[in-house]
């Protein structure tokens, strides 16, 4: 083996990422994954790395509103897309309804998988606000949690969805009246 074969292409490139509504320019290697760039270049460490092969879901973020595994995507591939991470959920110190539901239902213990589940649920409920508890359980099965046994995660998301539907129904009622 010669030294040449050991050389890895490490040429940096400039990429632009839109994360949580802010535009960022990053100089980084082409091979860096989206989750690594979010965490280590942009210091948005809320998104976690659990397996780096797309199964555990700890790194789930929204790309153009859909939940994706940030470990299975190169950062460069996310150029031009709208990326949302867990840091976007709260409004300043005010937690979102989904975050509050997780806390109220004890849907987290160690909290490591939580950002992934939150973003999974955030994306899913936006797409299917009328989701049933069974459908929620199906979606929750996309990610791994080692602490809770999942039940309280399902309950938290279901409670949040139910509350949103009620609020929506009330809003519709008051419009009609």
Site residues (CB under 8 A) for another protein? 1, 3, 6-8, 10, 29, 31-32, 39-40, 43-53, 55-56, 58, 85-87, 89-90, 95, 99, 102-104, 106, 108-115, 118, 137-138, 140-154
Q: How far apart (Å, rounded) are the C-alpha atoms in residues 17 and 35?
A: 12
Q: How far apart (Å, rounded) are the C-alpha atoms in residues 75 and 122?
A: 21
Q: How far apart (Å, rounded) are the C-alpha atoms in residues 161 and 131?
A: 7
Tell me how far CA of residue 3 lies from CA of 6, 11, 29, 30, 36, in angstroms: 5, 17, 21, 22, 28
Residue 23 bridge partners (DSSP): 18
Least separation in angstroms between CB 93 and another protein? 8
Least separation in angstroms between CB 94 and another protein? 10
Least separation in angstroms between CB 40 and another protein? 7
Q: 37 vs 177, which CB is nearer to another protein?
A: 37
Sign of the CA dihedral with 17 first, then 19, 21, and 27 last: negative
Q: 78 vs 88, which CB is nearer to another protein?
A: 88
Residue 98 bridge partners (DSSP): none
Q: 71 vs 78, which CB is nearer to another protein?
A: 71
Q: 30 vs 169, which CB is nearer to another protein?
A: 30
Least separation in angstroms between CB 16 and another protein? 21
């Amino acid at each position: 083996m010669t030294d040449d074969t050991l050389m890895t292409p490490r040429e940096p490139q400039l990429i632009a990422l839109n994360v949580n509504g802010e535009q960022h320019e990053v100089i980084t290697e082409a091979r860096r994954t989206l989750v690594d760039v979010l965490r280590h270049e942009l210091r948005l460490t809320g998104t976690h790395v659990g397996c780096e092969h797309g199964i555990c879901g700890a790194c789930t973020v929204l790309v153009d509103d859909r939940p994706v595994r940030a470990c299975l995507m190169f950062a460069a591939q996310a150029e031009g897309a709208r990326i949302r991470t867990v840091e976007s959920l709260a409004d300043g110190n005010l937690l979102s309804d989904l975050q509050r539901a997780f806390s109220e239902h004890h849907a987290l213990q160690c909290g490591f998988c939580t950002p992934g589940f939150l973003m999974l649920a955030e994306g899913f409920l936006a797409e299917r606000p009328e989701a049933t508890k069974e459908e929620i359980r199906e979606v929750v099965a996309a990610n791994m949690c080692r602490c809770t046994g999942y039940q309280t995660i399902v309950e938290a998301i279901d409670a949040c969805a139910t509350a949103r539907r009620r609020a929506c129904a009330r809003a519709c009622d008051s419009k009609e009246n």
